[in-house]
Chains A and B, each alone.
Chain A
Amino acid sequence: MNYKIVSKLTGLLILFLAICMIFSLLWSVWYSEWNVAFSFLYTILICIILGGGLVWYGAGTEEEVLRKEGMAVVGIGWLLSGIIGSLPFILSHTFRFQTIEGVQIENGLFSQIINSLFETLSGFTTTGSTVLTNIEIVPKGLLFWRSFTHWLGGMGIIVLFIAILPMLGAGAKRLFKSEVPGPIPEGLRPRIKTTALILWGIYMAISAVQTIAYLLAGMDFFDALCHTFGTMATGGFSPYNASIGHYQSAWIEYITVVFMVVAGINFGLYFQVIRGDYKTIFKDSEMRVFFGIVALGTFLIMFDTMRHQIFDNLIDSFRYVWFQVVSIITTTGYGTSDFNTWPPFSKLALITLMFFGASSGSTGGGMKIIRLMILVKLAYYQIYKTFHPQSVVTLKIGGKPIGQDVIDGVTGLFIIGMSIFVASTLAMGMLGLDIVTATTSVAATLWNIGPGLEKVGSIENFAHIPNAGKILLTFCMLLGRLEFYTILALLLPTFWRN
């Protein structure tokens, strides 16, 4: 392991975060929240000292970023981003007083740190689970920072880093692959830096369009920005307790749902469209399956909720169910109605969708549709082979053959993901949570969705979960966002040996 290059790059990343924090600082100055402004200022100072030190330590190294170093930079970088990002919350004592089940309690410093870390990493990993009991009393500067972490984490801090930093060379590819694993490696352009620039460019452009759409629908600029960040990153943080439901506006809901879908599609396809290739996007089999699942899920849950008379009429039912289905499958986690009150089938269907996730190459989390397609085909061929033992089949998606290494990666990820899901659920049960809360809290964080059911449902929050549980769920978020392999590799002792 070449510690110097790791130190240099993480140092640069911290300095970069300091620059990002200036926007939040400006918002708190704008709203005259001096306490918060100072906590941002202190954090920025800490960033400069720490980042500067790390860069200084690693200065002068000209060595290349190899695979291991790339993974270390991404893993450590994400962890450090979480820690640095949580400093404004810690320094301004955001989590000092909390109301849990109607009782106001005062948290000690340790609990405040855990809560801050949970909230920040929930932001960066675009999960959107919150430990804030009353979001609306939190100062605007912090609310903006919270949403901004979504936006940075959505397309990827490291990807942005690659797009901006000039001197990464071939190492950029290794960094990119560690942050954006995806089942099938595909570069849009020969150079990964160009790819990163294109992806962030598309991301920014669509975000700008959404912000304008919100402004036209009557949102103020601050809210429009926060909700855009939450949507485009498929995160789910909102500056309001009632999330998107706060507005009670069909227009805002439809804007949100459309952009959630947009964020849940492979960004590579938009690049094809920009290049003038309009056909590929409609031929993409993953996108078709994604749309198919959304349509089927919406239909079934509409049917179920209508049968149980949850909504007054068909139009309302469509409006709320479509929103919720898209919000869950893209792993955004916005809410317009409390789906915890929906009938059992609807809730189970939504839990299932949590595992599905969005398309590969999108900002969404979950297993990703393409992995599901590969797994389903794999299972089909296994059954098929029992009565055609001598047959030789090649797994294909959209007519393209899928290599054995990709299939192994997908099955491995599925096994790891499910094992961690089961183990974490057991651990949450050990902490005394009921079955539904334990299961859905893990699913909602591991697949970066946000809200679960029962006590972590869409109108609830994660504040009541014991500290140990919060640490575990924070870890789950990080695992899910980086798709397991990068983080788990860092935990292996052999990884660090030379």
Chain B
Amino acid sequence: MNTIIIGAGVVGFYITQLLSMEKHNVTVIDIDQEALRRIEETYDVQTLQGHGASTVILVEADIDEADLVVAVTSNDEINILACLIGKQLGAKRTIVRLENPAYHDVSDRFLYRDLLGIDLVINPKNLAAMEIYQRIRMPGAVAVESFAGGRVTMKQLHVTPSFKHIGQELKDYRLPIKCVVAAVLREDQVIIPSGIDVLQADDMVFVVGEKDKMKKIETFFGKSVPDIRNVTIVGGGDIGITVAKNFEAATNISVKLFDEDHKRCEELSRELNRTLVIYGSGTDLTLLKEERVFNTDAFIAVSGEDETNLLAGLLAKELGVPKSIVLVDRPDYMPVYERLGIDSAISPRILTAKYVLKYVHPGNVSAVSFIKEDKAEILEILVGKNSQMDGITLKDAPKAEFPRGAVIGAVVKSGKVVIPFGDTVMNEGDTVIIFALPQVVRQVEDAFKKAN
């Protein structure tokens, strides 16, 4: 696949790394000769020095033959323009990084698609904010993934020894909501379970269901969910305010938000409703004690400086906060953080790169995620017209080339989430969430491919 990456910063670098390892043809464009030199030395890619939105440069990079254009410079406008030009010249798909919140007032990414020909808009700050929010809000879950535009949630849950159904067959479970146990991770082995499989203590289960109802499932496998009541955020930048807004909107959690700039504090207090905005440094120990930060359940440091975030996160740990999440700008440092005692380090750039990779797949497959590196893949696939699966009920699927070792976790029919049963019919235009072992992924993709 011919890919053009515009912007050789951290995001561009990371995407380049992953794509070149998968043997794609990658061309990287950047204005900075030094950044290009570093990429060229490390990976087998072509580089081109010049302005990312210059038609001359883009033509030189053969953008008309590109299957994918990824514009990830730190300048939103250059990114938009580059993709606009690319699309006009014949590039198949475009991905744009947009950071300015003003561009995200149009929450519907399809508007960008129709208006500007941008297939995917990524906001690293929003991704980071969502990641932080989910790590705190879904404490029972080890990992959480969203599909179908956030309507479907997959949760990774731990089966504790107190789970009352241990030893029973899956089909006999009385699940509290409609959801599907799509995969089981047992001692590094992924099992795509059928009704007669049995769960054991310390299994990891992957459960798929409608987003709004998934909270109930958390306690089902025996884990009591510690209630999060207080959250402290340090840094009122775009990420800080988005995280605070998420907490305000979703729950009865009380939020404290520290910022060092008084003017920004005033803006924050205008924007936010229930959040307590405090003017002061997140590394001021007296202030942290004064504001009883030791009572908070989660501490989030998302200021603009890595050093401040790390220090604040460590101070919070020292004060006895159970969970400390820290933003990292330079991903190289990430391994150090966890050794120092920080619970999670979040890098917006790595999140962005991973998000882009979900997109680098055949036309009808739009989101891909992995269980335990590459033990199993989760695919979000559009049912193609006249494909082998078009009009087929779930129970008939195995007869129509749907392989063993794959399971359908959810079907999204015209925006509505359907938790599938044997009689559920898959039709053209539906989105299906599929768990599959790597060796059958190609077969699954083929089964849904459009035919004439």
Contact = CB atoms under 8 A, between A and B. Distances in A.
Nearest to A384: B276
Nearest to A396: B273
Q: Which 8 A-B pairs have the closest CB atoms?
A: A392-B265, A394-B269, A401-B270, A394-B270, A392-B277, A390-B280, A390-B278, A392-B279
> Which label, helix, strand, loop or mixed, suits the secondary structure of the A interface?
loop
B278 A388 contact: yes
B58 interface: no
A396 B262 CA distance: 18
Contacts of A392: 262, 265-266, 268-269, 277-279
Interface in B156-184: none
B287 interface: yes
A399 B276 contact: no
A233 to B, nearest CB: 37
Interface in B271-330: 273, 276-280, 287, 290-291
A391 interface: yes
Contacts of B273: 396, 399
Contacts of A399: 273
A103 to B, nearest CB: 64
Interface string B241-271: 0000000000000000000001001101110
A390 B279 contact: yes
Contacts of A391: 276-279
Interface residues of B, number: 15
Given A390-B279, A401-B270, 6 more contacts: A388-B276, A388-B278, A392-B265, A392-B268, A392-B277, A394-B270
Which of A388, A390, A392 counts the most chain B CB atoms within 10 A? A392
Contacts of A390: 278-280, 287, 290-291
Nearest to B290: A390
22 contacts: A388-B276, A388-B278, A388-B291, A390-B278, A390-B279, A390-B287, A390-B290, A390-B291, A391-B277, A391-B278, A392-B262, A392-B265, A392-B266, A392-B268, A392-B277, A392-B278, A392-B279, A394-B266, A394-B269, A394-B270, A396-B270, A399-B273
Contacts of A401: 270
Interface string A361-403: 0000000000000000000000000001011111010010100
Contacts of A393: 269, 277
Interface residues of A, number: 9
Interface in A387-439: 388, 390-394, 396, 399, 401
Nearest to B262: A392
Nearest to B284: A390
A393 B275 CA distance: 9
A394 B277 CA distance: 9
A7 B270 CA distance: 45
Contacts of A388: 276, 278, 291
A151 B291 CA distance: 55
Contacts of B279: 390-392
Q: Most chain-A Cβ atoms within 10 A of its Cβ — which of B262, B270, B273, B290?
A: B270
Contacts of B277: 391-393
A396 B268 CA distance: 13
A396 B273 CA distance: 9
Nearest to A391: B278
A393 B273 CA distance: 10
Interface in A70-86: none
A393 B269 CA distance: 5
A294 B264 CA distance: 40
Contacts of B278: 388, 390-392
B276 to A, nearest CB: 6
A399 B269 CA distance: 11
Nearest to A394: B269
Contacts of B266: 392, 394
Contacts of B265: 392
Nearest to B266: A392
A391 to B, nearest CB: 5
The residue in B269, B273, B279, B280 that gathers the most chain A C-beta atoms within 10 A of its C-beta is B269
Nearest to A404: B266
A169 to B, nearest CB: 34
